[in-house]
Amino acid sequence: MNDGAPDPLPHFVSHAPYDTGRDISLTASAAPQWRLVLQKLRRRRMAYVSGLFLLLVYASLPFSEIIAPYALEDRNADYLFAPPQAVHLFHEGEFAGPFVYAYKGVANLNLFRWDYVIDHNRIQPLRFFCSGAEYEFWGRWKADFHLVCPDRNGVLHLLGTDRLGRDMLSRVIYGTRISLSIGLIGISISFVLALLIGGMAGYFGGLIDSLALRLIEIIRAMPELPLWMALSAALPVNWSPLAVYAGLTAILGLLDWPGLARAVRAKLMVLREEDFATAAILMGAGPGRLIGRHLLPNFMSHLIASATLSIPSMILGETALSFLGLGLRPPVTSWGVLLVEAQNIAAISSYPWIMLPMAPVILVVLAFNFFGDGLRDAADPYR
């Protein structure tokens, strides 16, 4: 067509050789579903960016000790309620690398608080990939390697310090590990329960179905938070903090499944009437194989999207419970545990930075919402 003969109409014709393989690989018949979903997701900018952000945060969880400039319980009695420091690059017009100005607490005897005076002559350069405060990596191996450390004789409190002079940034980073893992473990429990109960209800119908439906109705009619509060208040006081962590995760997971189970049930009821399901049964597939191999994959991506959307409610649940003093207890540190300090209006009006653990909560919840919404739209790539 375009070999030599002049084009009668003035429009653009690409002379690049046509690669049939490329287009075929993009059609529904050839590419695996997850690639199509990913491709569709990539077109939704907000969802994609949020997804990458969440991936990055979750990937950082195993390395909290290295990322945090201080260890979790490091106290510095000279810096109680010290305000956040700003990172500067230029000192008196000259490039000096990233550094902070030294500051020092001065007792204010009128208001009975510490005022911090910044010394603009003393610069304390940040050190990177350095050895600093000692910690136990995963509670096992002693180490002192950090991504960023304060100057040898200086301090580095990018988000300020708390009542005991502990670095807020480090505590928020350690808290991330607990808060985010609760969301992930909780959703796994709820996901398995939803598949089991919703699957049985939808597939077998009849008595099992109406029993499951009743149970779902009852749990959904209970206001979530009061029930969570009652259950976590029931965790024995003499349990170790780690056992409380496990118990709390179980509570959050055990009460979250009804929404998902309803979705599983509704989908299964429609799909089990399809011809391909009948064909599978006639070929001798048992209920387990039929559900797992033939029915579930049809709406797995939808389920994962819905599950993603309910992770934030778990993270918020843990935060709320710990905030109320019914959830996790120190030394286990989550965002909610950190926010307990912010309950005191007198403290937050003098030292507003102790409210900062709120920021990661809101960011992560927002990211999960954007990502989940995008995933839900992308879950059906054939449309």
Partner 1 sequence: MGRYFLHRMSLMAPTLIAISALIFLVIQLPPGDYLSNQVAELRAQGEEANLDKIAFMRSEFGFDRPLIERYGVWIGVWPGANGFSGFLQGNWGWSFEYNKPVREVLGDSLALTVLLNFATVLVIYLIAFPIGILSAAWQYSLADYGFTFLGYIGLATPNFLLSLILLYYANLWFGLSIGGLMAPEYIDAAWSWGKARSVLEHLVIPVLVIGGGGAAAMIRRLRANLLDELQKPYVTTALAKGLTPFRVLLKYPLRMALNPFIADIGDLLPQMVSGSVIVSVVLNLPTIGPVLLQALRSQDHYLAGFILLFAALLTVIGMAVSDLLLALLDPRIRLSGRPAA
Q: How many residues sit in the footprint of partner 1 (CB under 8 A)?
A: 40
Residue 339 binds to partner 1 (criterion: CB under 8 A): yes
Distance CA 89, CA 123 (A): 10
Least distance in Å: CB of 343 to partner 1? 7
Closest CA to 272 of 196, 205, 195, 191: 205
Of the residues 178, 201, 231, 307, which one makes contact with partner 1 according to CB under 8 A: 231
Distance CA 239, CA 158 (A): 35
The HSE-up count of residue 228 (CA atoms within 13 Å, CB side) is: 29
Piece of 62-70, 84-92, 133-141, 230-238 that binds partner 1 (CB under 8 A): 230-238
Of the residues 225, 242, 270, 279, which one makes contact with partner 1 according to CB under 8 A: 225
Residue 369 binds to partner 1 (criterion: CB under 8 A): yes
Residue 343 binds to partner 1 (criterion: CB under 8 A): yes
Residue 77 binds to partner 1 (criterion: CB under 8 A): no
Of the residues 214, 274, 279, 297, which one makes contact with partner 1 according to CB under 8 A: 214
Residue 222 binds to partner 1 (criterion: CB under 8 A): yes
3-state helix/strand/coil string of 6-66: CCCCCCCCCCCCCCHHHHHHHCCCCCCHHHHHHHHHHHCHHHHHHHHHHHHHHHHHHHHHH
Piece of 55-63, 85-93, 219-227, 295-303 that binds partner 1 (CB under 8 A): 219-227
Piece of 78-86, 117-125, 199-207, 226-234 that binds partner 1 (CB under 8 A): 226-234
Distance CA 375, CA 370 (A): 9
Neighbouring residues of 360: CB distance < 8 A, sequence distance ≥ 6: 172, 175, 176, 179, 335
The token pair at 247 is 């118990």
- In the numeric block, the tokens 């808060």 are attached to 179
Least distance in Å: CB of 147 to partner 1? 28
Distance CA 151, CA 254 (A): 47
Piece of 75-83, 241-249, 298-306, 359-367 that binds partner 1 (CB under 8 A): 359-367
Per-residue x/- mask for partner 1, residues 268 to 307, rule CB under 8 A?
Answer: ----------------------------------------
CB burial of 147-157 (b: ≥16 within 10 Å; e: otherwise) equals ebbbbeebbbb
The token pair at 379 is 């879950």
Residue 365 binds to partner 1 (criterion: CB under 8 A): yes
The token pair at 223 is 């206001």
Residue 211 binds to partner 1 (criterion: CB under 8 A): no
Of the residues 230, 243, 270, 279, which one makes contact with partner 1 according to CB under 8 A: 230
CB 120 within 8 A of CB 86: no
Residue 326 binds to partner 1 (criterion: CB under 8 A): yes
* Positions in the binding site for partner 1 (CB under 8 A): 214, 217-218, 220-227, 229-231, 233-234, 236, 312, 316, 319-320, 323-326, 339, 342-343, 345, 348-349, 352, 355, 358, 361-362, 365-366, 369-370
